[in-house]
Chain A
Amino acid sequence: MQHFSSFVDLSKHKQEEDRLRFLLSELNHRTQNTLATVQAIAMQTLRGAANKEVVDAFEGRILALSKAHSLLGRKHWETASLRDVIDQILQPFGLNDRRVARFSVVGGNVRIQPKAALTLAMLFHELATNAAKHGALSNGDAGKIDIAWQADPKSDRMRLRWQESGGPPVTPPGRKGFGSRLIEGGLAQDLGCEVRLDYEPLGVVCRIIMPVPAGAG
């Protein structure tokens, strides 16, 4: 009898787990579809009214957000691999371009929390967009972007560096854009990161020291 009841419990447990998995998959799907609708509404609303740069910027941000959601959805919103976040976001910027290597991405296997994954996804998108407009991705094939990170197992913190080179000479922007706000508000305040964005003459450098889950990397 003991055996029988534990069998029943197990199968009930399994059913419950399947149901949760189904609901989560359904939720992920609906989120993606909702973001697709937001994208469509924005394009209909802005078509003809706003200039192309504004429309592209908005669409790019929605798509970056949706990619981060999709990554997190696949891992049941537990953690995301930093490398996967970078891969997803930088792929449209030529990360895997076989013709010319623009990116160097070096770092161990670090898993980050959902909130950090979303914010970093948006940040990488902003940095890459800026690089495509003014920085290392803006002048033919000469520029390069080095991304490197290292987790410190003792402090449960990670250092990450985005460094551009080979682009046109850098001049700091006149006003603070979405990227700077994301860094100061999202990364620094929400995630407890130390962040520095420097417009060095040879290329933009963004340095981040952020907490990572214990044992990562």
Chain B
Amino acid sequence: MNSPFSGRRVLVVEDEMLVAWLLEDMLADLGCAVVGPASSVDQALAMIDAEVIDAAVLDVNLNGQMSYPIADALAARGMPFVLSTGYDRDTLLDNYRTFPVLQKPIQRSELSDTLAKLLNPKGELSVESAIAAIAETSP
């Protein structure tokens, strides 16, 4: 499948099974390879240690357990992630408000826009920019 996200490995952390499935389907439609889903902090931390991950979608509240330790672990490894929540951004702890947030229910277009920013933070993800980059590095 020809997709800008082909083969990118995205960790899904989500405690609600149905929503996790939906995310898996949405990410697969975008061409991503899904890692997980993890439904608890411990499970997610183990996956971060064991797996190759390009980005993560992180539910803020996992069965009453806040997922901030996962965010810290990802940030420490320089892995980009987005927080997903049914709450407002204001309800996040101060230190976490600057991270990207996906409001639940998650919209396909917003997921794909956010992933594009996470996986290619330097600029727009486009064929033109890729060609320009190749042209610049070619002798």
Asked if B22 and A63 make an inter-chain contact with CB atoms under 8 angstroms apart, the answer reads no
Q: Is B25 an interface residue (CB 8 A)?
A: yes
| A92-B109 contact in complex given A37-B16, A37-B18, A43-B22, C-beta closer than 8 Å | yes
Q: Is B21 an interface residue (CB 8 A)?
A: yes
Which chain A residues border B19 with CB–CB below 8 Å?
A: 36-37, 40
* Nearest CB of chain A from residue B109's CB, rounded to whole Å: 5
Asked if A25 and B91 make an inter-chain contact with CB atoms under 8 angstroms apart, the answer reads yes
> In chain A, what residue has the closest Cβ to B105?
A36
| A33-B86 contact in complex given A43-B25, A63-B105, A70-B103, C-beta closer than 8 Å | yes
Q: Which of B85, B105, B109, B110 has the most CB of A within 10 A?
A: B105
Instruction: Choose among B86, B91, B109 the residue that contacts A36 (Cβ–Cβ < 8 A).
Output: B86
Interface mask (B1-40 → A, CB under 8 Å = 1, otherwise 0): 0000000000000001011011001000000000000000
Q: Is A79 an interface residue (CB 8 A)?
A: no
Which chain A residues border B107 with CB–CB below 8 Å?
A: 63, 92
Q: Is B104 an interface residue (CB 8 A)?
A: yes
Interface residue count on the B side (C-beta < 8 Å): 19
Asked if B21 and A74 make an inter-chain contact with CB atoms under 8 angstroms apart, the answer reads no
Cα distance A41–B109 in the bound complex, in angstroms: 19
* Nearest CB of chain A from residue B83's CB, rounded to whole Å: 14
Interface residue count on the A side (C-beta < 8 Å): 25
Instruction: Choose among A25, A35, A37, A59 the residue that contacts B87 (Cβ–Cβ < 8 A).
Output: A25
Asked if A40 and B91 make an inter-chain contact with CB atoms under 8 angstroms apart, the answer reads no
* Nearest CB of chain A from residue B7's CB, rounded to whole Å: 23
Asked if B22 and A35 make an inter-chain contact with CB atoms under 8 angstroms apart, the answer reads no
Q: Is A47 an interface residue (CB 8 A)?
A: yes
Q: Is B88 an interface residue (CB 8 A)?
A: yes
| A35-B21 contact in complex given A25-B91, A29-B86, C-beta closer than 8 Å | no
Q: Show 19 A/B contacts (Cβ-Cβ < 8 Å), sorted by A.
A: A25-B88, A25-B91, A28-B86, A28-B88, A29-B87, A32-B86, A32-B87, A33-B16, A33-B86, A35-B105, A36-B86, A40-B16, A40-B21, A43-B22, A44-B21, A44-B22, A59-B108, A63-B105, A66-B104
6 closest A-B pairs by CB: A32-B86, A40-B18, A36-B105, A40-B22, A36-B104, A33-B86
